[in-house]
Amino acid sequence: SELYSYTEEPELSTNQRCFEEDFHAQVQGRRWLELDGAQQKAYVMHLLDGLEVVNRDRRLRVARAILYLAQGVFGDCDNEGDVLHWSRHNSFLLYQLGTFTAFLELLNMEIDNSQACSSALRKPAISLADSTELRVLLSVMYLMVENIRVEQETDPPEWKTCRETFRMELGFPVHTEEPFALLLFTMVTKFCSGHAPHFPMKKVLLLLWKVLLFTLGGFEALQGMKVRKREEMGLPPLPEDSIQVVRGMRAASPPTYSIELVEQQQKRGHRSRRPLLKQDSLDIYNEKDPFKNDEAGVDEDDNDDVDSGIEGELDLMDRDTIVPTVPAQRPPIERVSFPKGLPWAPKVRQKDIEQFLEASRNKFIGFTLGQDTETLIGLPRPIHESVKTLKQHKYVSISDIQIKNEEELEKCPMSLGEEEVQETPCEILYRAMLYNLPQYMIGLLKILLAAAPTSKAKTDSINILADVLPEEMPITVLQSMKLGIDVNRHKEIIVKSISALLLLLLKHFKLNHIYQFEYVSQHLVFANCIPLILKFFNQNIMSYITAKNRYS
C-alpha cells in the first residue's frame, strides 16, 4: 500500500481496462485464472511483443496491462488472499519470461528522454500526469522485486532458483556495467540537481530500498554474515544478537511536555489516601516491571514517608474493617526478579584493559609497563579481580582486525603483496558508488530535508510532491482532505525509505570494511545529517505517528 497514493486510485481501473480490452481480444470467453501455464506464458509473450512497438501510447497500454497482472488481477479475485497469491504467481511468471529486462530497457529510455525533462522544466507546476510512464514502469519492477524477494515455505524449487538468479542479476553487473541500484541512485542525483523534476521520487526510493534489501540482505542475513566472518578470522562467536535484544525491549516513551509536568506536580501535591490492598498490588506491579525508573521512585518514596507515615500505622490497625477478608484459596503471588543493568553483555576492548592497568600502576607502583596486561606484581588483590573481570568480557571486533591488516599492509606493502578482496554484492556496490558517493549522500539528505516537518516555508528546497499532486486542484472538502492525507503520507513514506536506505548501507559497509563505513559516515556528517535527524526527534512524536491516514 505504500507504493500507491489516493491520487493514483483512478489509475487502478485504467490498468484493469487496458488488460481486459487486450485479453478479451486474444482469449475469447476465458478468465486469466482459468488459463493453464502454457496459455498464460503465451499471452505474456504477446504482451512483451507489444512493448517493442514505436507508438508510445501503445507501449503505455501494454505496460498498464502488465502492471495489472503484477497487481494480482484483482478484478477476477474474490478476496484479498487470492489477490496476493496471483500477484506473487504472476511476478514469478513475468520474471521467467524476461519482463524485468524489458522494463529495464524502457526505464533507461525514459530516464534519457530529454523531451520529457525539458517539458517538465518549462511547466510552472508539475503534476501526476508528467510521470505516468515512469510510475507504471517503477510499479511493475517494485512488485516483481518485492514478491520474488520474500521467501515462503510452499515455494516450488523453480521459484527458489529464480530468486537466486534474480538476486545475482540485481547485485552483480550482468547485462550492464553497473548494478541496478546504481541506476536508481543516478535518478536520485538527477532529480536533486533539477534536471528531471518529474521523476516519481517516492517510487524510486522504495524500489531502491527493496533492491538493497534483496541484494545485500536484511538484519537476519547481516547477522549470519557477521557470524561467518568472525569464524573465518578466528574470532570467538558473538555473545548475542543485538538486533534481537533491542526488539525485545520496551519502546521509548515520548518526552513529556511542560503542561504534563504541571499536571503531574498538581496530582502529587493533592495525593489522596489509598487503601492498603491497592497499594500492595501497585508494589507487586512495580516489582515485576523491569524498566521501572529507580531514581524517580526514590523521590516518590521520600514524599510518601513524610505525609503518610502515621496513616500507614492507622491503615494497619484498621485493616480488618477497611479491607474485606481474602479467601485462603488464592494462589501465592509470583515474585519475579530481574537483573539490573543493560540487557546485553558488556564489551571490553584491549585498549580499555591497558588504560586501566596504566592508571592502576601509576597509582600504586609509580611507573607503567606499556602494553603489558599480564604482569600484576605489586598491585592489590581487588585490581587483580578487576583485570580478570575485564578479560572475561574482552571483545575483539571485525573492525579491529581490518584496521590492523591495513596498518600491516602500509608498513610492508612489498612483502605482504596485494590484498585479496572478495567480490561480494556489497563490495561491487561500493566500488560502483565510490566515484559519485558524495553526490548520492547529499541527494538523499536533500530529499530528507524536503520531507522534514517544519513551521517555516521552504522556498529553496526541491519539490518532492510531483508524483502526488493531481492535474486539477481539489474543489470539494473531501478532495482537499484526501490530498492533505496524501501529502502527509507521501512525506512519511519518503522519510521511512531514506532512513532504511542509510541504515542498510551503513551496516553492510561496516561489515564489509570499516573504512568504507567511515567514508560514508564522513560525507553524511559533512552534509549535516545529524542536525537533520535531530530535527525529526524534536517534533511531537505522538501527533506525528497517530495521524489519520484514511478517510470515510
User: CA angle, 421 as apex, 419 and 423 as ends, to 5°?
Assistant: 165
Contacts of range 138-141, beta carbons closer than 8 Å, 24 or more positions apart: 138/107, 138/200, 138/203, 138/204, 138/207, 139/3, 139/4, 139/67, 139/70, 139/203, 140/63, 140/66, 140/67, 140/70, 140/94, 140/99, 140/103, 141/100, 141/103, 141/104, 141/107, 141/207
Residues 53-81: b if buried by 16+ CB within 10 A, e if exposed: eeeeeebbbbbbbbbbbbbbbbbebeeee
Pick the closest to residue 504 from 273, 304, 211, 131 (CA basis): 211
Other CB atoms within 10 Å distance of the CB of residue 511 = 21
Q: Are residues 357 and 381 in the same domain?
A: yes
Cβ atoms 208, 184 nearer than 8 A:
yes
pLDDT of residue 372: 83
Q: How many domains are contained in the chain?
A: 2
Domain membership flag for residue 304: yes
Q: Are residues 300 and 356 in the same domain?
A: no
pLDDT of residue 536: 75
- Rounded distance, CA 155 to CA 195, Å? 43
Domain membership flag for residue 355: yes
Q: Are residues 337 and 282 in the same domain?
A: yes
Q: Are residues 280 and 337 in the same domain?
A: yes
pLDDT of residue 305: 47
Q: Which domain holds residue 358?
A: 350-392
Domain membership flag for residue 386: yes
Per run of 10 residues, the mean pLDDT along the chain (length 552 residues) is 85 92 86 88 92 89 94 88 92 93 91 78 77 92 94 89 92 75 93 88 94 92 91 86 78 60 62 46 44 44 44 43 49 53 80 89 83 84 91 89 87 74 90 93 91 62 83 81 86 91 94 93 91 75 56 46
pLDDT of residue 237: 86
- Rounded distance, CA 431 to CA 418, Å? 17
- Rounded distance, CA 5 to CA 13, Å? 14
Tally of CA atoms within 13 A in the half-sphere of 60 that contains its CB: 12
- Rounded distance, CA 345 to CA 220, Å? 19
3-state secondary structure 320-345: HHHCCCCCCCCCCCCCCCCCCCCCCC
**Backbone CA torsion sign across 43, 48, 53, 58:** positive
pLDDT of residue 120: 72
Inter-axis angle of helices 425-433 and 157-171, to 10 degrees? 30
Domain membership flag for residue 373: yes
Residue 428 neighbours by CB under 8 Å, 6+ apart:
171, 172, 173, 179
Q: Are residues 337 and 292 in the same domain?
A: yes
**Exposed, middle or buried, 175 (CB in 10 Å: 0-12/13-18/19+)?**
exposed
According to DSSP, the residues that pair with 348 across neighbouring strands are 394
Residue 405 neighbours by CB under 8 Å, 6+ apart:
419
Domain membership flag for residue 70: no
- Rounded distance, CA 407 to CA 539, Å? 44
Coil/strand/helix, residue 348 = strand
For residue 285, CA distances in Å to 139, 252, 331 come to 50, 19, 16
User: CA angle, 194 as apex, 191 and 197 as ends, to 5°?
Assistant: 60
**Cell numbers found for residue 12:** 487502478
Coil/strand/helix, residue 210 = helix
pLDDT of residue 186: 93
Q: Are residues 337 and 294 in the same domain?
A: yes
Domain membership flag for residue 241: no
Q: Are residues 311 and 363 in the same domain?
A: no
Domain membership flag for residue 364: yes
Domain membership flag for residue 312: yes
Residue type, 392: Q
pLDDT of residue 76: 86
Q: Where are the alpha helices (DSSP H) in 249-329?
A: 258-269, 276-288, 294-307, 309-317, 319-322
Q: Where are the alpha helices (DSSP H) in 323-476?
A: 350-364, 381-392, 398-411, 413-416, 425-433, 437-450
**Cell numbers found for residue 263:** 499536571
DSSP 533-550: HHHHHTS-HHHHHT----
For residue 20, CA distances in Å to 17, 64, 83, 135 come to 5, 11, 16, 21
Q: Are residues 289 and 307 in the same domain?
A: yes
